[in-house]
Structure 1
Amino acid sequence: MIIHLDNILTTEALMVINQQLEVAQFIDGKKTAGWHAVTVKNNQQLSSQSSQAETLKKMIYKALENNSVFQMATLPRKIHSLLLSRYEQGMGYGSHVDNALMGTSSIFRSDISFTIFLNSPSEYEGGELVLEEINGERSFKLEAGSLILYPSYTLHRVETVASGIRKVAVGWIQSLVRDAQKREILFELDTVRRSIFNKEGKTTEFDLLSKCHANLLRQFAEN
């Protein structure tokens, strides 16, 4: 399930983030790549030692926690490994798959990957996120503040930036429901029951859908 969400970050939050990134310390992105991805990764990442890192990550985590559709779609047990990245002219990230397990002192599974676009697509040429699916490729270059969610098992790449600077936040989710198809069933049920509630209130139909959703979640969820 691939989902595009607009306005994950407010205009004010984007302004703060971009102002802080202008003066922050960046390091070679290869330092956080797996042994095979390091051969195709060419970008810069906000240093974890940077004074801005913790504050900016907290802002983004908070925005994700407060977005109901994001929560419905991902059912997060843990949102983790957040990175703020920039791609200058000539930089890109070749075809790769994200590591299944991430972390050092604590290890988390990557079920879902996400990219939040931090600056306007008019500010750079190239830099599209390309998801490589069996039936073809899908390309994304979204407005600032928008997010794309996709399964972490997906091969994907970032096209070379021809001009300007591409700024994004990327991260991963260990979901309470590991299986992508099961998450999609729960998301669609939840979407329908909330729509019924918004239109008609707490009806018998809403109660039955809520029962189905809760019982399926009970079956699908992992500790």
Structure 2
Amino acid sequence: MIFSIDQILSSEDLAEIKQVLQQAEFIDGKLTAGWHAKLVKNNQQLKSGTSQNELKAKIRAALAKNSLFQSTVRPKSVHSLLISRYDVAMSYDTHVDNALMKGKSGLCRSDVSFTLFLDSPQDYEGGELVIEGVQEEQSYKLEAGSAIFYPSTTLHRVNPVTKGTRLVVVGWVQSIIRDASDREILFDLDTARRAIFAKSGKTPEFDLISKSIANLLRKWADV
């Protein structure tokens, strides 16, 4: 399932992050790419240090309090974050994200990938995130502070930037629900349950759906 969430970052958080990045040092993005991705990756990434740690903590905090992210992704850990910059002529050609990445407690699965946009689409040209499907491609270029989430299993790319600068946060999540179709079932059930509660309160139908969600979590959760 591919979905977007608007305004994950508040305007205040976004302004603070952009201010820090104006003075920050970026390095060659190939340093964090896999051996085959190095061939097609042409961007820059924020250098490790105190400012990067503070920005990552702010982004993780914003995700932790976003109810849509929590109910859709059901994160076990947001284990990897990179702050990337694309200047004119920079791009990242077709690739798939690594299945396993290093987290604080060891190797983590990448179940869900995301791109959090830090610039308005009017601030740069090109630089679309393109996700490849079986029969078609879809491109995404969201407002600053908004993010697109997609299965880490997909082939995707970033088109060349032709004007301006593209600043984004890219991240990877290990979900407590390994299978993407199972996550979608849980999200649909939870959406229906909330709609019933908003309309009629705690009804027998609400209780039955709540029971199904709880039992499916017991069956599928990887904790």
What TM-score results when the alignment is normalised by the length of structure 1?
A: 0.97
- Residue 14 of structure 1 aligns with which residue? 14
Classify the secondary structure of the residue corresponding to 1:70. helix
Does residue 68 of structure 2 align to residue 78 of structure 1?
no
Please report how far the alpha carbon of residue 104 of structure 1 lies from its aligned counterpart in structure 2 after TM superposition.
6.5
Please report how far the alpha carbon of residue 9 of structure 1 lies from its aligned counterpart in structure 2 after TM superposition.
0.7
| Whole-angstrom distance in 2 between the partners of 1:220 and 1:144 | 35
The runs of 5 or more residues in structure 1 that have no matched partner are: none
| Whole-angstrom distance in 2 between the partners of 1:107 and 1:48 | 20
Alignment of 1:38-187 (within 5 A): 38-49=38-49, 51-103=50-102, 106-187=106-187
String of CA shifts for 1:145-164, please: whole Å, max 9, x gaps: 11101000000000000010
| Whole-angstrom distance in 2 between the partners of 1:208 and 1:78 | 29
| Whole-angstrom distance in 1 between the partners of 2:143 and 2:87 | 18
Please report how far the alpha carbon of residue 7 of structure 1 lies from its aligned counterpart in structure 2 after TM superposition.
0.7
RMSD: 0.9
Distance 1:66 1:104, change over 3 A: closer
Classify the secondary structure of the residue corresponding to 2:21. helix
CA contact (8 A) 2:111 2:173 kept: yes
| Whole-angstrom distance in 2 between the partners of 1:164 and 1:59 | 25
- Residue 24 of structure 1 aligns with which residue? 24
String of CA shifts for 1:81-137, please: whole Å, max 9, x gaps: 100111000100000000000016611100000110011010000000000110200
| Whole-angstrom distance in 1 between the partners of 2:74 and 2:184 | 11
Classify the secondary structure of the residue corresponding to 1:107. strand
| Whole-angstrom distance in 2 between the partners of 1:133 and 1:35 | 24
- Residue 34 of structure 2 aligns with which residue? 34
Classify the secondary structure of the residue corresponding to 2:35. coil
| Whole-angstrom distance in 1 between the partners of 2:199 and 2:97 | 40
Classify the secondary structure of the residue corresponding to 1:85. strand
What TM-score results when the alignment is normalised by the length of structure 2?
A: 0.97
The runs of 5 or more residues in structure 2 that have no matched partner are: none
| Whole-angstrom distance in 2 between the partners of 1:56 and 1:197 | 37
Classify the secondary structure of the residue corresponding to 1:31. helix
Does residue 193 of structure 2 align to residue 193 of structure 1?
yes
CA contact (8 A) 2:79 2:103 kept: no
| Whole-angstrom distance in 2 between the partners of 1:104 and 1:186 | 26
| Whole-angstrom distance in 1 between the partners of 2:88 and 2:100 | 31
- Residue 205 of structure 1 aligns with which residue? 205
| Whole-angstrom distance in 2 between the partners of 1:67 and 1:191 | 15
Moved over 3 A (4+): none
Please report how far the alpha carbon of residue 196 of structure 1 lies from its aligned counterpart in structure 2 after TM superposition.
1.4
Please report how far the alpha carbon of residue 199 of structure 1 lies from its aligned counterpart in structure 2 after TM superposition.
2.1
